[in-house]
Amino acid sequence: MVEHTTLVTGGAGYIGSHAVLALRDVGQGVVVIDDLSTGARTAISSDVPFFEGNVADDALVRSVIREFGVDAVMHFAGSVVVPESVENPLKYYKNNTCVSRTLVETCVEEGVANFIFSSTAAVYGTVEINPVTEDLPPCPDSPYGKTKLVTEWMLRDVSAAIPGFRHIALRYFNVAGADPLGRAGQSTPNATHLIKVACEAAAGRRDYVAIFGEDYDTPDGTGVRDFIHVTDLVEAHMLALAHLRGGGESLVLNCGYGKGFSVREVLEAVRRYSGTNFEIRGSSRRPGDIPVLIADAEKIRECLGWAPHHDTLETIVAGAVNWERSLKPSNGE
């Protein structure tokens, strides 16, 4: 008999689908709600309960919580493209903040005590000192980062006001890679994440890869990021879930490795592993991009006992390239 059931919102998306696999691997109950705006129904096994819809649909969420005895939520649903958030902030305030508010209210009213929120390192904004710790005052540069930060504040206030409701906000740095067993990977259409885009170019699905900004104050002029393997990130969610179910306190935690790689270093790594020499073009900076952002990940190690197992750029790139090669061509390719 399944003792616990987790509702995974956005479970048909990139990170959410990996979380569903992790929950299933340890025999825990899981149910998915996803509106399939960016996710794929095929990312979820047919034996996992799945409901197509938006988590702002109060009636749907209530019925799922009651039917499956949900006691925890992993909230992945939302919009995640920084430049788009600058161009269309209302979309992001709706999808990331307003929808989250409705979901949290439903959880509180239905007695769901444990809430894990998919936040972002974008809450920090442009920083003077790296790596960044969780106690650095957040100052997001983009509406994307702002909408995630407002949701963090909401969860903090709700946890303080409602006895028994606790949360963990996980601030992701740059997520990449694929399930080591080849069961899942990034299949988001029109992806903007660097490694995914590079893998598409290596597979012949893009004509070139653009570097947005070559004049940053970094060793090679391109932005520097802390990349985290999706499997290690999902393990952080599993530990967060156990922490909350065990009565642990609410937390805000960075999810990264504490080391950075430049855009150009990443592209060269994809070229090397894939054995291709796809074209790289320089381009202007994008609105909302940050020059350097690297995580201080000591707190998550101390609080949750998290220890990454896939923390090399080579491992991340290899999984991503292999996953891209496994995908079936589309649109006549």
Q: Which residues contact 94 (CB under 8 A, 6 or more apart)?
A: none
Residues 4 and 113: beta-carbon distance below 8 Å: no
Is 144 catalytic? The answer is yes
What kind and span of H or E run contains 143? helix 143-161
Amino acid at 63: S
From residue 223, how far is each of 212, 278, 291 by CA, in Å? Answer: 8, 20, 5
Say if strands 224-225 and 261-262 run parallel, antiparallel, or are unpaired: antiparallel
Place of tokens 């080391």: 259
What are the C-alpha distances in Å from 153 to residues 101, 111, 140, 252?
11, 20, 14, 11
Catalytic residue among 144, 172, 257, 273: 144
| Angle (CA) 299 83 255, round 5° | 15
Is residue 112 within 8 A of residue 73, CB to CB? The reply is yes
- Contact between residue 114 and residue 241 where contact means Cβ atoms under 8 Å apart: yes
Cα distance between the two ends of the chain: 46
Enumerate the active-site residues.
144
